[in-house]
Chain A
Amino acid sequence: MRRPSWLLRLFLGLPMIYLLAMIGVPIVYNLAMSVQEVTLGNIAAFARPFVGLDNFTDSLADPIFRRVLHNSVVFVLVNVAGQVGIGTIAAACFAGGFPGASTMRGLLLAAWILPGLVVGTVWKWMFATQFGVVNFVLSALGLIGTPVHWLSDPATSMTALNIAHIWFGIPFSMILVAAALTNIPGELYEAASLDGAGPLRRFRYITLPAIAPALFAVACLVAIASLRAFDVIFALTQGGPLNSTNVLPLLSYQASFQDFEFGRGAAIGSFAFVMVFGVALVYVRTLKSEQPA
């Protein structure tokens, strides 16, 4: 390493200034707004009525906010379990090295590259109560008697959303876990086979311990992605019915852009910022412990 030159400082400075201006400033501005009353009338003014922590206490007292907070937590946990679980199984299967394995694995990623809005729209059509292919397949298999109102019944809407969002996220987990799997020395498996360990035991006693740190990092990334979820939900259910699929970012958007209570939207946003930052800090720590350099 040489002494940092002016060129390197400029190279580092430009993107950092850009990030501070486009993300740092909005975060601070958001905090300021969350203690103000911001309406369409005073939106462009700098001096707005200071309301202290009213936006926060109002939100906390609001049963809808509490429901949405609960939804957010459930949504994140289910998605982490589903995406990382299925992604790990898929990665382990494709690691077998049968003909066409890498091509098939690549094909799966096609789902991940799609815009979230397209994914939500396609699943909305598949989950349609009448003429939807999900209900058709389930009834053809004899699993349901009458059509399920997937998206219009608060009892099933979250399940539908979870299925769509887990589907969207599986390839990402699979690719990252697959990378971790390639780092396990093959001799370990050979030795275990000689000792008579079957595939399930080898997975349990060799694979899982070896990839545990990577799995934790992937779980953090999936949690972050689920806390960011917006497009799929917006296309699929708009958070409804009766807020049964609403999550914090969507509630914040609705407060700001549908109710025009920007201060409340900012306060809800601040809650969610804290949650995302919390997970992100854990993720950053796992990176540091994995990489001594």
Chain B
Amino acid sequence: MIRSRHVAQSVVAGACVAIYLFPLYWMAISGFKTQAEIFADPPSFFPRAPTLDAFRYVVERENMGRYVWNSVAIAIPVMLVAVTLSAMGAYAMSRMRSRLVDAALIAVLLLQVLPEALLATPVFIIFKTMGLLNTHLAVVLATSARAVAFGLVILRPMFRQVPYELEEASYVDGCSEWQTFSRIVLPLMRVPLMVLAAITFAQAYGQFVYPLTLLNRQDLQPGTVGIYSFIGTEIADWHRVMAFAALFALPILLLFMLLQRQIVSGLTAGALK
């Protein structure tokens, strides 16, 4: 009785999940269609003659590889800066208690919420004055800022969970503060740091506003800007646009599948506790 109700629940829930994820399915199969099939009425829900032509086209003719490379070249430094600075800051915040630290935490929470599209105007002019437009450095610097703030919010509760006794024991054994941090505390934080690295990588990989405003040389632009300019020029070629979007999203989806469980627990700890 209970068993059959559980099975029924699973089936209903599975159907809801399938409906919800339909846009992802539609993106993927549209990429496998021919132009004739894209404009078929009624549309086919499974490609009749799956072909890699659209994928080949975006790789060979639309510089897919260069766009993905630029996205990665921006995302990796952002990830490194965010993880390093926020691990340091979150550790300090979890071990110090003063009004200054409270104020810093509130400032971080407030800075974290600001829309990049609003910061784009002043950031563009500041970088223009500094002669940094059309460099990945400018995009990395601007994108890292929010990633650092986000990292501080996510990591601080995690660092608080490390028992202080562990550190005291390490001091008794004659370790310096730096050694205690790098050899005792950081290894315990391996999973949260990995989650933060994955999330900041994914966010920087998908970052759009800063590269759009700070880079106008096409050979420097990441995939997000690439998709956008591709829609502009080839509005009718939806199989190619979808092939581009699917290929571009693939690394992020793979990364997510690997770390899904850890990402879920990391997110909930930071946002509500």
Contacts and interface: CB of A to CB of B under 8 A. Distances in A.
Interface of A: 1-2, 4-5, 7-12, 14-16, 18-19, 22-27, 29-30, 33, 38, 43-44, 90, 93-94, 96, 98-101, 104, 106-111, 113-119, 121-126, 128, 130-131, 133, 136, 140, 167, 170, 172, 175-176, 178-180, 214, 217-218, 221, 224, 227-228, 230-231, 234-235, 248-250, 252-253, 256-257, 262, 265-266, 269, 272-273, 276-277, 279-281, 283-284, 287, 290-291
Interface residues of B, number: 98
B85 A15 contact: yes
Nearest to B14: A104
Given A30-B121, A107-B21, A114-B249, A14 B85 contact: yes
Given A14-B88, A125-B238, A230-B116, A136 B43 contact: yes
B86 A265 contact: no
A122 B96 contact: no
Interface of B: 6-7, 9-10, 13-14, 16-17, 20-21, 23-24, 26-27, 30, 38-43, 85-86, 88-89, 91-93, 95-98, 101, 104, 106-111, 113-126, 128-129, 141-142, 144-146, 148-149, 152, 164, 177-178, 181, 202, 205-206, 208-209, 213, 224, 227-228, 231, 238, 241-242, 245, 248-249, 252-253, 255-257, 260-261, 263-264, 267-268, 271-273
Contacts of A18: 85, 144-145, 148
Contacts of B122: 25-27, 29-30, 33, 266
B157 to A, nearest CB: 9
Nearest to A266: B121
B214 to A, nearest CB: 11
Nearest to B41: A131
A109 B263 contact: yes
A8 B224 contact: no
Contacts of A1: 95-97, 164
Given A125-B30, A230-B116, 17 more contacts: A4-B95, A19-B145, A22-B144, A24-B111, A26-B122, A44-B128, A98-B13, A107-B21, A110-B257, A117-B208, A118-B245, A131-B39, A133-B43, A170-B20, A217-B271, A235-B227, A276-B114
A88 B24 CA distance: 22
B180 to A, nearest CB: 10
B63 to A, nearest CB: 17
A7 B209 contact: no
B125 A33 contact: yes
19 contacts: A4-B96, A19-B148, A98-B10, A100-B10, A109-B263, A109-B264, A130-B41, A176-B271, A231-B208, A234-B208, A235-B228, A248-B118, A253-B117, A256-B121, A257-B121, A272-B115, A277-B113, A280-B110, A284-B109
A92 B24 CA distance: 24
B115 A117 contact: no
Main secondary structure of the interface of B (DSSP, over half): helix
A218 B202 CA distance: 22
Contacts, number: 293
A33 B121 contact: yes
A251 to B, nearest CB: 9
A99 B267 contact: no
Contacts of B268: 175-176, 178-179
B23 A272 contact: no
Given A99-B7, A111-B20, A117-B206, A12 B96 contact: yes
Nearest to B38: A131
A115 B121 contact: no
Contact of B89 (A15, A106, A117): A15
A131 B43 contact: yes
A11 B155 CA distance: 14
B28 to A, nearest CB: 10
A8 B24 contact: no
From B92, B109, B261, name the one whose CB has the most chain A CB atoms within 10 angstroms. Answer: B92
Contacts of A125: 26-27, 30, 238, 241-242
Contacts of B248: 115, 118
A181 B79 CA distance: 32
